[in-house]
Amino acid sequence: MTGIACRSCGSRHLELVLSLGETPLANALLTEQQLTQPEARFPLDLAFCPECALVQITETVPPEQLFSHYLYFTSFAETMLRHAEQLAKRVIETRGLGRDSLVIELASNDGYLLQFYQQAGVPVLGIEPAANIAEAARKRGINTLTKFFGTEVAEELHREGTLADVVHANNVLAHVSDLNGFVAGIAKVLKPDGVAIIEVPHVKPMVESLEFDTIYHEHLCYFSLIALQALFSRHGLTVVDVERLPIHGGSLQLHVGGSGAPSDAVCKLLEEEIAAGLDRVEFYAEFGSRVRELKGELRGLLADLKKDDARLAGYGASAKGSTLLNYCGIGRETLDFVVDRSTVKQGLYTPGTHLPILAPEVVQERRPDYLLLLAWNLTDEILEQQHAHRERGGRFIVPVPAPKVI
């Protein structure tokens, strides 16, 4: 037990299921000058709450520290934009939204989603805490408040009669340290028949596919429907529908409202989660021991390759990669460098492990024998892009869910 209060129900009986050690912030890439300075490290421990079934990390890094390092990449991937456009179109149709409606998005970013409502003539309000990003949205004509959403902002909106037919919260709930304040705020700004559409990564595929490298300090919570239901019902909200989405390794899209009964899909997924054991600590404790085994296997594989004088590099200076390298203790003694397509990252160094980040073209010049895939979610794309590496006999190492050479 950790003695720390659960982020959802407040219980102090959290069970530690996996410790990834003290790691630097996954997105805190370093400049050359910073390599000689001490790096801030924080415990990265995953815990399960037996009271409400919420999986969470125990440490909350202050947002100022977490986001001061944040590199902001403007353009959203094409697939994300298509997903946003289809979502807006479907919601406008099914909810019959028009000029008298209001759609609010929490953590609205640069207006990537709200723009599609606005184009259809539906009034919108974005709420975005990052000033530079909120400004980018306003420049595109998207009405945006620069604020952290919570009960205070919700009460202000409520007082002035700004109530929403639809509230969107995409991939923000896992980042919120005051979960109850955030959800209470949603309940406050919804019209009586309004709906909140919330997307969160699902903990079930993370555990089943051993995607432990999606754990980092920015992700405070890892949700099951069981845990979400407990959280929402505490604030008078009901999960009325759920859909599984393939994005981010497996996500849930929830429809949450102040009234209505859970759909068949909700009941079915709850049954499935309970049958799989997502409400019990054993499910997560086993995940913890499988992750520890994976670390041993991966280290063993890399050590064998190094013994045969193989030259190794990494592909993808991602946050995932940071967790994987730091937890497994893979650094300069094993990898010569890491490549990444993002020009913003090139020239910097990976947190904790201090590997230089170079352009993908370097693979052709330096010709490593193996590339460790640190962005396994993009495996197909990377294999395609690096066909020259494969043609000359270069191989890839896929670390998750079990280390293998392809």
Q: Which residues bind Zn ion (CB under 5 A)?
A: 6, 8-9, 11, 49, 51-52, 54
DSSP string across 62-115: -HHHHHHTPPP--SPPHHHHHHHHHHHHHHHHHHT--TT--EEEET-TTSTTHH
Nearest approach in angstroms of CB 237 to Zn ion is 17
Token pair belonging to 291: 């992750």
DSSP string across 256-303: EESS----HHHHHHHHHHHHHTTTSHHHHHHHHHHHHHHHHHHHHHHH
Nearest approach in angstroms of CB 283 to Zn ion is 15
Nearest approach in angstroms of CB 58 to Zn ion is 12
Nearest to 160 by CA among 118, 217, 102, 202: 102
Compare residues 4 and 383 and give the one whose CB is closer to Zn ion: 4
Token pair belonging to 69: 């390092």
Nearest approach in angstroms of CB 11 to Zn ion is 5
> Which SS3 state, helix, strand or coil, does residue 234 take?
coil
Distance of alpha carbon 294 from alpha carbon 306, whole angstroms: 18
Nearest approach in angstroms of CB 13 to Zn ion is 8
Distance of alpha carbon 358 from alpha carbon 339, whole angstroms: 5
Would you say 200 and 223 are in contact if contact means Cβ atoms under 8 Å apart? yes
Compare residues 225 and 371 and give the one whose CB is closer to Zn ion: 225
Nearest approach in angstroms of CB 406 to Zn ion is 40
Compare residues 219 and 345 and give the one whose CB is closer to Zn ion: 219
Distance of alpha carbon 380 from alpha carbon 362, whole angstroms: 20
Compare residues 49 and 113 and give the one whose CB is closer to Zn ion: 49
Distance of alpha carbon 292 from alpha carbon 286, whole angstroms: 10
DSSP-derived secondary structure letter, 21: E
Nearest approach in angstroms of CB 389 to Zn ion is 46
Compare residues 56 and 101 and give the one whose CB is closer to Zn ion: 56
Compare residues 52 and 312 and give the one whose CB is closer to Zn ion: 52
| Backbone phi and psi for residue 287, each to the nearest 5 degrees, phi listed first | -55, -45
Compare residues 5 and 398 and give the one whose CB is closer to Zn ion: 5
